[in-house]
Amino acid sequence: MIKISRAKRSVSNSNWLVSTLLLPALVTTVALLLAGSAAAQKRDHLTDQESELVRDNQELDKRTEVFIKAIDRRFAIINGTVAPSMPKKTKKDEPDWGEPPKGTRAELLGDIAGILDEAITNIDDVSRRDAKNPLLSRSLRKLTTSTNGYLNQVNAMKSQAKDPDELAAIARIQDYASQIVEVGSKLPTPAPDSDKKKKKP
C-alpha cells in the first residue's frame, strides 16, 4: 500500500511539474499562433467607408456599382494612376468614399479578389430568393463588363509578378472573374427600354 501511495504521489508530482512548467509555455505558444492568425485575418477587403456604402445601397445593381468602384480604386493605386488623397466631392449627392485603401500590392490584389467574391455572393443570394428579379441581369451585366477589364489587367500582371502572395491573389481574381464572365456570357441580349414613353406629336 505504501509503495502504491508513493507511486501515486510521484505521478501526482510529475503532473504538477508538467502543468507548472509546460502549461504556461503551451499557453504562450497558442496565444502567439492565434495572434498571428488574427493579424492575418484582420484586414478587410473593403474600407470602413466602402462597407458603409455597401450597407446603404440595398438595391443589387447599386450595390454592385459600389463593388466595381471599390475594385477600380485598387487597380488605380496598383497602376499608379490615383492621387494620394481622394478629391473632394463635386456634387452634393455624390457618395463619400473616404480615403483611398492602403496596403501592399499583394494586399490590394487580395482585396480585389475578396470584393469579387462578395459581389458573386450578393448576386447568388438574390438569385436564390428571387430568380426573376430584373436587377439580377442588370447587375451581372455591369459586373461582367468590368470583370473583362480586370482579367486583362491581372493577366498582364501575372507575367511580371514574382511575389508568391501576389501570384496567389491574382489566381483568386482570375478564378472569380472567370466565373462571372462565364455566367455573364449566357445572359440574353437586353431588351430595349420599354419604360421610355413615346413623345407625343
Residues 129-169: pLDDT tens digits? 999 999 999 999 999 999 999 999 999 999 888 999 999 99
- Indicate the number of domains in the chain: 2
This prediction's pTM: 0.71
Rounded CA separation 124/172 (Å) = 18
Full residue range of the structural domain in which residue 78 is found: 48-87+95-184
Q: Is residue 189 assigned to a domain? A: no
Instruction: Give 96-134 pLDDT, tens digit per residue.
Output: 888 899 999 999 999 999 999 999 999 999 999 999 999
Average pLDDT over the chain reads 78
Same domain, 22 and 117: no
CA atoms within 13 A on the CB side of 188: 5
**Residue 198 belongs to some domain of the structure:** no
Q: How far is it, in rounded angstroms, from Cα 20 to Cα 27?
A: 11
Domain contains 200: no
- Separation between Cα atoms, residue 55 and residue 188, nearest integer Å: 30
**What average pLDDT score do residues 26-48 get?**
57
71 & 134 share domain = yes
CA–CA distances in Å: residue 124 to residues 24, 85, 108: 47, 34, 24
